[in-house]
């Protein structure tokens, strides 16, 4: 069955309308920085999401990463669990199936994942907050692939932050010092096949913690956003090769909700597709641990008073949220 046929089947069964999120080309940024910034910012203000094509992450690298991700999660359970660090909040390496839970959810998410962080030189000032990476013995070449992919995501993220800065009336390089040596995380996600009567969903309704999330497309449908205007769930269906980008809670807080962090989820597929795995690859772009999240003055108005008069460091905010989603136990 073709991908198009699968998507039509899922659409029919779930009867979920599609979000009219515009597809933007990152290649337009070089030609018209202000125009691209306005289009990206407008999409974020309306949906909290944007779809970005021509993002610059090489397709051969993406293909290699998908192949190695599937090989990784196909490893024996005992071998994968050897890369799980108890009490580390899932910061690096493997996190087993049914560990993470969306805030205020009743059921744990039906997923397992692997985290890759920034490679830091020995003795770096953030070594205490940013753990060293854990690299599996197999598949072969895994480290090289994902160090390269992390760097490609980093580059694309910097360009998007530059556009966000322009949209907010800031210098285009405003975010550069904030994200230099930032605590970003590349998550490799596997939603295994599930029983027809499985409780819960693959990923419960949630918002992301970070500044922005860059998500490479998945083979199986299921990603939905909660539209703030209508209160309805809307399916997100990027064109092949495009990237979904969404605002996280740190950016929402920084902008006093001018750029909203939108609730989203990954629903279970219809019964005939529940025997299939789903893979995805989000890059959670974080600032440096010592970045102070302080409301931007230009986002404070009489109609939109400061919601966050007390600033907080990115590290303290991250720790609060990891407790809420069950990755760190109090």
Could you read off the pLDDT of 202-259 as tens digits, one per residue?
Answer: 667 889 999 999 998 754 578 899 999 999 999 998 999 999 999 999 999 999 999 9
What end-to-end distance do the CA atoms of the chain give, in Å? 47
* pLDDT value at 6 more than 60: no
- Interhelix angle 59-73/142-167, rounded to 10 degrees, is 120
Selection from 1-15, 75-89, 193-207, 297-311 with the highest mean pLDDT: 297-311
Q: What is the pLDDT of residue 108?
A: 63
pLDDT tens for 138-177 read 999 999 999 999 999 999 999 999 999 999 999 999 999 9
Cα dist. 23→27, 40, 153, 228, 264 in Å? Answer: 12, 9, 18, 20, 18
Average pLDDT, the chain: 89
Q: What is the pLDDT of residue 30?
A: 96
250 burial level (CB within 10 Å; 0-12, 13-18, 19+): buried
* pLDDT value at 329 more than 50: yes
Q: What is the pLDDT of residue 3?
A: 38
Look-up of token digits 């807080």:
253
| Residue in 135, 140, 117 with CA at minimum distance from that of residue 71 | 140
* pLDDT value at 101 more than 70: no
- Element spanning 187, H or E: strand 185-191
In a domain, 224, yes or no: yes
Domains of the chain: total = 1
- Kindly indicate the confidence band of residue 8, based on its pLDDT and cuts at 50, 70 and 90: very low
In a domain, 7, yes or no: no
Cα dist. 114→62, 90, 119, 142, 314 in Å? Answer: 16, 8, 15, 12, 22
| Residue in 109, 187, 185, 122 with CA at minimum distance from that of residue 154 | 185
Please state, in angstroms and rounded to a whole number, the distance separating the CA atoms of residues 145 and 61: 7
In a domain, 8, yes or no: no
Task: Give the structural domain span for 287.
Answer: 17-324
Inter-residue contact 150 to 181 (CB < 8 Å): no
Please state, in angstroms and rounded to a whole number, the distance separating the CA atoms of residues 76 and 299: 50
Inter-residue contact 270 to 10 (CB < 8 Å): yes
Half-sphere CA count of 9, side-chain side, radius 13 A = 12
Please state, in angstroms and rounded to a whole number, the distance separating the CA atoms of residues 11 and 267: 12
Helices (H), the chain: 3-14, 28-31, 33-47, 59-73, 77-81, 142-167, 176-179, 249-254, 314-324
Please state, in angstroms and rounded to a whole number, the distance separating the CA atoms of residues 161 and 181: 15
From the CB of residue 34, how many other CB atoms can be counted at a distance below 10 Å? 12
Q: What is the pLDDT of residue 106?
A: 61
In a domain, 2, yes or no: no
Check which CATH number belongs to the domain holding 46 and give it: 2.60.120.330
At 254, give phi and psi (nearest 5°).
-60, -35
Look-up of token digits 């949630």:
206
At 188, give phi and psi (nearest 5°).
-100, 120
Cβ within 8 Å of residue 22, ≥6 positions away: 39, 43, 50, 51
Q: What is the pLDDT of residue 316?
A: 96
In a domain, 110, yes or no: yes
In a domain, 249, yes or no: yes
pTM beyond 0.85: the answer is: yes
Q: Name the least confident of 40-49, 108-117, 279-288, 297-306.
A: 108-117
* Token pair of 61 as six digits: 């690298």
Q: What is the pLDDT of residue 126?
A: 97
């Amino acid at each position: 069955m073709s991908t198009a046929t699968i998507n039509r089947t899922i659409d029919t069964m779930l009867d979920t309308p599609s979000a009219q999120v515009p597809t933007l080309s990152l290649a337009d940024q070089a030609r018209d920085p202000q125009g691209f910034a306005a289009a990206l910012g407008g999409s974020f203000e309306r949906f909290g999401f944007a779809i970005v094509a021509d993002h610059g992450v090489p397709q051969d690298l993406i293909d290699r990463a998908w192949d190695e991700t599937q090989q990784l999660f196909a490893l024996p359970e005992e071998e994968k669990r050897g890369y799980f660090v108890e009490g580390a909040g899932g910061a690096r390496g493997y996190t087993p199936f049914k560990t993470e839970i969306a805030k205020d959810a009743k059921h744990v998410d039906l997923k397992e994942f692997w985290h890759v962080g920034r490679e830091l030189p020995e003795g770096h000032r953030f070594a205490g907050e940013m753990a060293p990476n854990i690299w599996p013995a197999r598949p072969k070449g895994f480290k090289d692939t994902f160090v390269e992919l992390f760097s490609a995501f980093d580059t694309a993220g910097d360009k998007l932050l530059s556009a966000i800065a322009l949209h907010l009336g800031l210098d285009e390089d405003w975010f550069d010092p904030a994200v230099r040596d930032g605590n970003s995380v590349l998550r490799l996600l596997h939603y295994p096949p599930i029983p027809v009567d499985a409780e819960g969903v693959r990923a419960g309704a949630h918002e992301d913690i970070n500044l922005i999330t860059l998500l490479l497309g998945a083979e199986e449908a299921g990603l939905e956003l909660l539209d703030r205007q209508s209160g309805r769930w809307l399916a997100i269906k990027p064109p092949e090769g495009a990237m979904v980008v969404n605002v996280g809670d740190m950016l929402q807080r920084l902008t006093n909700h001018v750029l909203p962090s939108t609730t989203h989820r990954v629903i279970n597929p219809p019964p005939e597709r529940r025997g299939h795995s789903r893979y995805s690859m989000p890059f959670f772009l974080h600032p440096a641990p010592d970045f102070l999240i302080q409301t931007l003055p230009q986002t404070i108005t009489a109609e939109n008073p400061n919601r966050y008069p007390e600033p907080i460091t990115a590290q303290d905010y991250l720790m609060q949220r990891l407790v809420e989603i069950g990755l760190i136990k109090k």
